[in-house]
Amino acid sequence: MKFTGWPEQGELVVGEVDEIADFGVFVDLDEYEDKRGLCHVSEVASGWIKNIRDHVNVGDRVVAKVLEVDTGSQQIDLSIKDVNDHQRSDKIQEWKNERKADNWMGIAFGEDVDDDKYTAVAEALYAEFGSMYDGFEAAAIHGAEALEDTDLSESEVEAIVETARENVSVPYVNVTGYVDLQSPGHDGVDDVRAALEAAEGNGEVPDEIELDVSYVGSPEYRIRVRAPDYKTAEGELEASAERAREAIEATGGTGSFHRERESDDE
């Protein structure tokens, strides 16, 4: 998506060098429609520059900082030297992510989607998530629930979720914990089995979470959780262990949760 407005002072922008002069470099801004900036030779690199072409070439993709915007004279002053390596890397990744999201928009709504619809959907995602990419990623992880607070229609939400779940690679984390479950009653085996089913969520674990409970060695059971982030994973791990403890204690048994494995058998 290309913005129709103007970049703001201090903003980092991505662009392609399309002309080099002795006094500076002209940069076609990738993220803004019909916008071109000038990076004065003194802002291309630190120190004295003997030959500007030793530092940039036509066709180079650069990250620059917006120094000043004069809408009256249609001028955008840029600095390449004021962008450090970390900022450059982050900005390029952000730009690449938005290009992916632009492609996903074409998949979700068709390559011939009209500009008004594209803009309306894109603006809804930007308003809620700050970028189209983050909106698609949230949809891949949480489904339609992630888009509840947007102005998108039901059909638009459905298209985004379907596209996101087929195309977005979501980062996941894994956490592990253990529960000890014991029941002294005659139905002890059945009591433990019921507690394990409770630990597994009885089929009510959210779609974005994978939860597995396995036997380690009596009375110890392993709980593994795979989730989009550590906070979610840790919360589900503790909830799983708590469900198991409550279930076994309701039958007169005992249950306890610990993070490290205690038994010797694998």
Per-residue pLDDT tens over the stretch 223-249: 999 988 888 889 999 999 999 999 999
Q: How many whole angstroms separate alpha carbon 261 and alpha carbon 148?
A: 41
The residue extents of the domains of the chain are 12-83, 86-167, 173-258
The superfamily (CATH) of domain 173-258 is EIF_2_alpha (3.30.70.1130)
Q: What pLDDT does residue 172 have?
A: 82
Q: What pLDDT does residue 261 have?
A: 65
pTM (2 decimals)?
Answer: 0.65
213, pLDDT greater than 70: yes
Q: For the structural domain made of 86-167, what CATH number should be given?
A: 1.10.150
Tell me the pLDDT tens digit for each residue of 104-125.
Answer: 999 999 988 888 899 999 999 9
Dump the DSSP string for 164-231: HHHH-----EEEEEEEEEE--STTHHHHHHHHHHHHTTTT-S-TT-EEEEEEEETTEEEEEEEESSHH
In the chain, what percentage of residues exceed pLDDT 70?
Answer: 97
> What is the mean predicted confidence (pLDDT) over 169-187?
86
C-alpha dihedral over 63, 67, 70, 71, to 10 degrees? 40
> What is the mean predicted confidence (pLDDT) over 199-207?
81
Question: Are the C-beta atoms of 3 and 31 separated by less than 8 Å?
Answer: yes
- Cα–Cα–Cα angle for 173, 179, 182, rounded to 5 degrees: 160
Q: Nearest 5°: phi and psi at 178?
A: -135, 145
Q: What pLDDT does residue 1 have?
A: 63
Q: Identify the architecture of domain 12-83 in CATH.
A: Beta Barrel (2.40)
Tell me the pLDDT tens digit for each residue of 49-97.
Answer: 889 999 999 999 999 999 999 999 999 999 999 999 999 999 999 999 9
pLDDT interval class at 17 (50, 70, 90): very high
Those residues with Cβ within 8 angstroms of residue 229's Cβ, 6 or more apart along the chain or in another chain = 173
